[in-house]
Structure formats: C-alpha cells, structure tokens
A and B are shown apart, each in its own frame.
Chain A
Amino acid sequence: MNMLIFLPELALMTMALVLFFASLASWDFKRLYGLTLAMSATAVVCAVASWGQEGTLFFGAYRVDAFSQLFKIFITMGLFVVLAMGEGLSGIEKRLQPEYFFFVTVSSTGLVFLTSAVELITIFISLEVSSFALYVVIPFRKAGAQHREQMEAGIKYVLFGALSSGISLFGMSYVFGLAHTTYLSELATVVPGLLTSSPMLIVGLVMMLAGFFFKLAMFPMHFWAPDVYQGAANETAGFVATIPKAAAVALLIRFISLAGGVDLGDFNWILAAFAVFSMVLGNLSALVQEDVKRLLAYSSIAHAGYVMVALLCVNLLGFSTAIYYIAGYMMMNLACFYVVYHVGQDGENVTLDNLAGLYKRSPLLALVLAVGAFGMAGIPPTVGFFGKFFVFTAAIQKSLYALVIITVINAGISAFYYLKLVRAAYSPVKNPGETLTLGKPASLLGVALMAAILLVGIFPQFFMEVAEKAVGTLM
C-alpha cells in the first residue's frame, strides 16, 4: 500500500498519541509547546506531500482525492496557525494546557477524517470525534475575574451540538430509507431521480445537513456561535471559528454535488432561504456588538450565508469559489483572532473600547487587524474582495439575481462594522495604555498572515485553479 495516501492522518494521530502521553508526564511547558509546534508543522508537510494522491481505503468508506487533500492542507495549516498564535496559552487554565493540545489535535484529526469520509456512518462518527474534543476544550478557560461564563459556553455548545447531531442522524435515516445505501458513490446514482420524485428525500437531506450547518454556524443552527465565542478562551475561539468551518464546507460540497449538477428543485429554495436569513441576521446583529469576539461570531454567521450562495450555483465555478472563499475566511479570521489573543494578554475578552489607540500600543497588531477587517469587508486587493467577486460572478452566471442583490446589500452593511474595528484601532486617544510587545515569532506570524491575505488576493488565478482541480474530482 502507498504510505503517502494516509500520511496526514498518520501524522496527526501520532501527534495526538504523543500529546496524550505527554499530558501524563509533567513536562516543562516550553518543551511541550516546542514539540507540539514541531509535530504540527510535520503534519502540514505531510498534508502537502500527499497532495496528488488518489485512492480508496477501508472498504470504500474513505476516499483520498485532490478534493480531500486540499482540505487536509487547510486544516493542518489552520491547526499550526492556531497553535503558533496561542503562544503561552494565556487564556487556558495552567494545569489543563497539555490536555488542550491533545484535544485540539484530536478535533483536527476528526475533521481530517471528515473531509475524506464518503460513507454516511463514517461521516457522522468523524463529525462526532471532532465535536466531542471541542466540547471538552471550551470550559478549559482560565477562571478569571469576570466569570464562569466558559462553563455556560461549554454547556450550550454540548446541548446544541447534541441536538444538531440528533437531527442529522434522523435525516440520515430518512435518506437511507429512501436510497438503501450509505455510500455517497451509490447515493449519487439515485439522488437525482429521488430529488424530483420523493419530497421526503429533501426533508432527509435538509435534516442531515443540519449537523454541518451547526459546524458552519449557519442560520437554523447558529444560536451557539456568539455565546461560545465569547465564553471560550481567545485561542479556543480562534480554533472553533475557523478550522471546523473548512471541513463543514467540504462536506456541504460533497452532499450538494450529489445532485450531479442538475437542478436541485425545491431543495434550492430551502438552502437559499437559509443563506438569506444567515446573511441578514448575522450582519444586522453584528452592528450592535461591543465584544470583538461576539462581533466576529455574528460576522461568521453572515459569511456562512455568502458561502451558501456560492454553493447554490451547483457548478464547477460555484464550488471552487466556495473553497476559495472559505480559505480566505480562515486566513482573515485567524488574523483577527491573532490580534484579539495578543490584545487580551491575560486571556480576557476584548471590547471595541480596548482596541482604542491600538496603533500606538502596537503598530503591527493594528495593521494586522486592519488587513483582516478590510479583507472581511471585501476591499481590494485582499482575498476577501476576490472571494466576494467570485461569489457574485458565479451567482450571476446562474442568474440568481435576487440572491446577488441581497448579498450586495449585506456586504454593504457588513462594511460598517468591519470599519468600526479599524476605526477603533486607529482612533487617536489621549491615554492609549501600555505598549504591547510581541516576540519575534509572534510578529513573524502576524506578518505572514497579512502576506497570505494580500498575496492570495492579488494572485487569485493560481488558487482558483487549484480549487477547480480539487472540485473536478467530484463532478
């Protein structure tokens, strides 16, 4: 057997195993952190090395192709950035720091399995692996002056998560009852026919997708996002906000492409309604937020809506746009959470007032925040601009004019609160507070994030080609 096929999974599983034993020994934090970062970097290298592999494993339940490998690169890179960003883990309870690394790694492993799973039961269990690890990590936050809100966030995440996986499993049972198979390759042959003849399949599919909407924080399953982001430690929130969403988009693409590129019929209407509600609700709620993490939570609900508009095109351009968009979204959000983590030095939450005069306290952080926020507002030449541009192009090609108009209006509304972030960081104040000093590695990471947001935005052609190649294996 070709070892390269399974290499990223092996690297992450080894990492989880080593971290599990390291959590039993009482290691010095510096050593543990160095080891974790090194192993995480190895996982990225393994994921990149396995690009181009193809094959089917585990009796047809696990498919390795360009599509899955691309998302594995996203996930491992995201994990590396989250770990590198949370240098010192200032928001996590001291005695739980080794376990934090372990659970975050296991969650990423689950997500990596999710991108390759092509069988409903395997998909469901991979989803549970990634969710369970996150349920445990949320309450790891250091009990600070403000609170025990991390417990509330943890409970809310578990309860909503259990509810959405229940609905998801229920939907899968309907799909199985109609199609008599759990393998996506076999579903692809029967779904297009059933979609028009059996409305029950639409009910089943929508219920099944609820589990992924939960991960993506999309409209009917979005309730948890603001409270969980606010209650979780800054570094944990950075993880929850970015990496699971890439995997959720991968799964949504896999399921929506089951229809084989034909018209989705009534299914289209339901998903379009979800997209519109998600955008409007997310953007309007974000306008009034004071806490930066809550603001980012509502903005992520809105971004889920934009991604859904791209998915609704059900063609090569739409799907590759969704991949490009979610990759850009990950970078921009990681940049914002990087700033939040470093401004909230003792792991406290950051409000807009805390950002005031940030350009005096740390010019680099203010600049990273500005690039991230400009990106999310969709201002050229960032990746956010081209993401939105491709979404509009794809939707206009499929003549989804109503959706395009709603999306444009929403993009306008969202610019207001993203610019509010920038204004807060750059507004002159009399007493800006103490200077924030960043170490060399932390500064380097900030510069790298900015460079990524700008470069992927300035040269979108190459990245779109990669995304199209990945989607090409599905269509």
Chain B
Amino acid sequence: MNLMMEVLFFGFVVLTMTGALLAVRAKILMHGVLGLAVSLLGVAGLYLYLGSPFLTLMQVLIYVGAICVVLVFGIMVGYTPNEVAEKVPMGRNALLGLLASGSAAFFLMVMVLGRTHWVPAAHRVGDFSIEHVGESLLLTWCLAFEMISVVLLIAIVGAIILARGGREEGSQ
C-alpha cells in the first residue's frame, strides 16, 4: 500500500514536470496550452495524494477545464494558430552551463536537505468538507480572499485596456 502511494506520488510529479517542460519548450502555442493542461492535471493528482478530493475536483474543473478552454479560445479567436516559434538551438556552452549550475544546485540541495529535520505537523485537520472550506475562506482567510478578487479585477481591466490599444494601432 505504502509503496503504491509512493509510486502514485512520483507518477504525479513526473506528469506535472513533463507538462511544464512541454508548455515551455513547445514551438506551437497550442501545444504549450496542452502541456499546461497536463501539468495542472498532475497538480490535481498531487492534491488527491494529499487527501483533498474537493481541491482535486476544483483544480480539474477550474484550471484543467475552464482556464485551458479559455486559453484555447483565446488562441483560436486571436490569430490563426499555425505560427511556429523560432527554434532556439541550445549551444554547447548553454548546455554546459545548465549542467554545471544544475548539478551544483542539486548537491547543495542534497546537503541542505540532509541537515534539515522535517517535523510532521502535530495534527491533521482532515476536514475537507465544503462547509469547512467555505468557512475558512470567509472567516480566517477573508482578507486574502477579498484581495484576490481585486487582483482579478485589475487583471481583467488591464487586459481589456491594453488589448483595445493594440487593436487600434493595428488598424491604422
């Protein structure tokens, strides 16, 4: 059972990482969105592993579902999705640099992790019911919750303003 859980965990991690790499390295924009969807699905899996089916469901519904669909719409409405990004060849120096910094970071991280004692939380809440989530959002975390809506408002208004400007200049 324990081994299976471990395998499941690393499976989800690999899924998240693959999706993220796909999203970054994709040459066609649409492939990037698909990579993002895969990555978000992996994150949903991690939530499931941590024992929160509600969060998993929300992640799949909102991120994998709604947001990725909106992105796909945006790309399809915006312009014909056949532009291919310029291929950026990875030179030998870049590869060596990546290898050097990556391995240095890895060994430092291993040393740091070896000296750190992770203490498990004293108690597990375990209550992931919708009532509990709703209560904590509107009581304990109400300030953060309200401020997220401000962030969304700014993002929406800002996007509209900047996009409108782009269109006007394009038509000139």
Residues of A within 8 A of B (CB): 57-59, 61-62, 93, 96, 99, 102-103, 106, 109-110, 113, 117, 119, 121-122, 125-126, 128-129, 132-133, 135-136, 139, 143, 177-178, 180, 197-201, 203
Which 7 residue pairs are nearest across A and B when measured between Cβ atoms? A136-B158, A200-B116, A58-B143, A198-B116, A125-B147, A132-B154, A199-B112
User: Hey, which chain B residues are within 8 Å of A129, CB to CB?
Assistant: 147, 150-151, 154
Residues of B within 8 A of A (CB): 109, 112-113, 115-119, 121-122, 139-144, 147-148, 150-151, 154-155, 157-158, 161-162, 165, 169
User: Hey, which chain A residues are within 8 Å of B140, CB to CB?
Assistant: 59, 61
Using A125-B147, A180-B121, A198-B115 as known contacts, list a sample of 10 further A-B pairs with CB atoms less than 8 Å apart, ordered by residue number in A. Answer: A59-B139, A99-B157, A126-B147, A143-B169, A178-B119, A180-B122, A198-B116, A198-B117, A200-B112, A203-B109
User: Hey, which chain B residues are within 8 Å of A143, CB to CB?
Assistant: 169
Name A109's closest neighbour in chain B (CB-CB).
Answer: B150
User: Hey, which chain A residues are within 8 Å of B109, CB to CB?
Assistant: 203
B143 & A128 in contact (Cβ 8 Å cutoff): no
User: Hey, which chain A residues are within 8 Å of B113, CB to CB?
Assistant: 200
User: Hey, which chain B residues are within 8 Å of A139, CB to CB?
Assistant: 162, 165
* Least distance between A434 CB and chain B CB atoms (Å): 31
User: Hey, which chain A residues are within 8 Å of B161, CB to CB?
Assistant: 96, 99, 136
B157 & A177 in contact (Cβ 8 Å cutoff): no
What are 19 A-B interface contacts by the 8 Å CB criterion? A58-B142, A61-B140, A61-B141, A62-B143, A96-B161, A102-B157, A103-B158, A110-B147, A117-B143, A122-B143, A122-B144, A129-B151, A132-B158, A139-B162, A139-B165, A178-B119, A199-B115, A200-B115, A201-B116
* From A59, A128, A177, contact of B118 by CB (8 A): A177
* Least distance between A59 CB and chain B CB atoms (Å): 5
* Least distance between A397 CB and chain B CB atoms (Å): 32
User: Hey, which chain A residues are within 8 Å of B141, CB to CB?
Assistant: 61, 121
* Least distance between A145 CB and chain B CB atoms (Å): 15
User: Hey, which chain A residues are within 8 Å of B155, CB to CB?
Assistant: 132
User: Hey, which chain B residues are within 8 Å of A199, CB to CB?
Assistant: 112, 115-116
